[in-house]
Amino acid sequence: MSNNTEYGKQSFEKYCEEAFGIKNVFEKPEAFKGYRVLSCTQYILGPAAASYFAELGAEVIKIELPKAGEPMRHTTPFNEPYLYPLSRWYPDKGTGLGFFGANPNEYFVGLDFHKEEGKEIMLALAAKSDLMVENYRPGTFDRWGIGYRQLKEVNPKLVYLWAGGFGGFGPGRSRASYDILGQSQGGNFSITGQPADMHGHPSKHTIWLADYWGGMMGAIGALGALYWRNNKSGEGQMIEYSQVHGIQRQLEYSLPMWGKFGIVRQRWGNWDTELSIHGIVMCGKSSYPDSDNPQEQEEGFILISAHKDADFARLAELMNRTDLLDDYASHSARVSPEGQKYLYSEIAKWAADKTKEEAAEILHSHGINCQPVCNSKEVVENPHWQKRGAITWIDDPSFGDVLTQGAFVHMSDTPPRVKWALKPVGADNHYIYQKLLGFDDGKITDYEDKGII
């Protein structure tokens, strides 16, 4: 009604740029400042869930095996000690790059849950915390005497998030799970990859999709539990997030289609089963023909989206192939398997003498939605991501300049932020154990020597 008069002096773009401005993020309050989270986690799923709270301002304490740390530090390449040292106890070892992305802003302490003193420390920390996240096999912490049933005795307000493979009950509960296993049983792989009649097979995702997705889903559950505690019950609760269960939420219409028609959804490669043209096409030329890097010598790829009839007509015209409109002017004809196989092959012929950038320039000039497929180098150099803070250099207190992803969401009043990427194992033993439990330097040193912390 009065919006144009009231807000017309400032464009929406300018408003967003100022409201979410990355230059003054650290001048604003943090949504979860004052909350404490214990992250007894390993690999990606559990750490990701806890890390979102760290970006939102919570004091997240990452608890690892003393001196050596959790397995993810050791299971990935590029772990040279001069880049990202493991700990002061192992100066000749480093932390693998796979540890990045799921552990920012956290404080790092060592603690051996198997030792009686370690169990006592765990109970003492839980008594002063709001949320605990762990992703060991179901029932492991309960068996060790530090699971939810024990911790709620010392802190009834504690919210306890278990995130793991198959859940705490059911026929598969005792199975271990990793991202790739979760996607296999959850059904994701069955619809990912090239179709069988194109000599294809199921394909895994290179990134740990189930873990990062699962971490976010678990964090949402924890947010609900914290809200209920703070506004309704005054008490915590236990949350169970099953990685395999969560993958099924990504299957969209696959399940109702089977239930209604008995049809098993199939994989369809880089195209779309519901929209056409709406898929990835290979171009014939490399964007970096003079590069010595074999990865850059590869031909480029481009996503083309022209599924509306008018858009496809423009695509056919710019390709000088208006004859395609004789049989494929309607979407129902284009989206059929036979239609897609023919049309994408013809579009690939058009792109065969072009780089992905050249193809994109032509498509954009004709109003066709498209996007060259970017590699990580191109993502980093993209001015859009740089301006939005999605890709950023941080002055990490442990490692100096580190190129990393920015915060996972923009918020106008209480924005998340990335303060540091990670730390060596046990880097905050003195800070955390002195502040929370009153340990003096002598006791901390003694416990470190005994492998308790």
Q: What is the pLDDT of residue 189?
A: 86
State which amino acid sits at residue 361: E
User: Minimal CA–CA distance to 419: which of 45, 33, 19?
Assistant: 33
The pLDDT confidence band at residue 1, using thresholds 50, 70 and 90, is very low
Superfamily, domain 278-376: formyl-coa transferase, domain 3 (3.30.1540.10)
Higher-confidence position of 347 and 294: 347
Looking at the chain, the domain(s) classified CATH 3.40.50.10540 span 10-249+389-449
Half-sphere exposure of 371 (CA within 13 A, CB side): 9
Nearest Cα to Cα of residue 182 among 114, 248, 252, 127: 248
Instruction: Pinpoint the residues of the chain covered by CATH 3.30.1540.10.
Output: 278-376
Q: What would the two tokens of residue 23 be?
A: 């230059």
Q: How much is the average pLDDT of 257-285?
A: 95
> What confidence category does residue 25 fall into, taking pLDDT thresholds of 50, 70 and 90?
very high
Q: Which residue has the tokens 């043209």?
A: 277
Per-residue pLDDT of 154-164, as tens digits, reads: 999 999 999 99
Residue 4: per-residue pLDDT: 55
Summary mean pLDDT of the chain: 93
Which pTM value belongs to this model?
0.93
79-95 mean pLDDT = 89
Instruction: Work out the pLDDT band at 81, boundaries 50, 70, 90.
Output: confident
- Return the bridge partners of 279, or none: 304
Q: How confident is the model at residue 129 (pLDDT cuts 50, 70, 90)?
A: very high
Residues 302 and 360: beta-carbon distance below 8 Å: yes
SS3 125: helix
Question: Residue length, the chain?
Answer: 453
* Predicted pLDDT at 111: 98
> What local confidence, expressed as pLDDT, does residue 170 receive?
86
Taking the CB of residue 169, how many other CB atoms lie within 10 A of it? 11
d(CA 148, CA 132): 9
Among 3.40.50.10540, 3.90.79.10, 3.40.50.10860, 1.10.3720.10, name the CATH number for the domain at 10-249+389-449: 3.40.50.10540
Mean pLDDT across the stretch 271-275? Answer: 95
- 40 DSSP β-pair partners: 134
Report the percentage of the chain scoring pLDDT > 70.
99
The two three-digit tokens of residue 232, written as one number: 């309704």
Query: pLDDT value at position 283?
Result: 97
pLDDT class for 27, splitting at 50, 70, 90? very high
- HSE, CB side, 13 Å, CA atoms: give it for residue 357: 5
pLDDT by residue (tens digit) across 360-384? 999 999 999 999 999 999 999 999 9
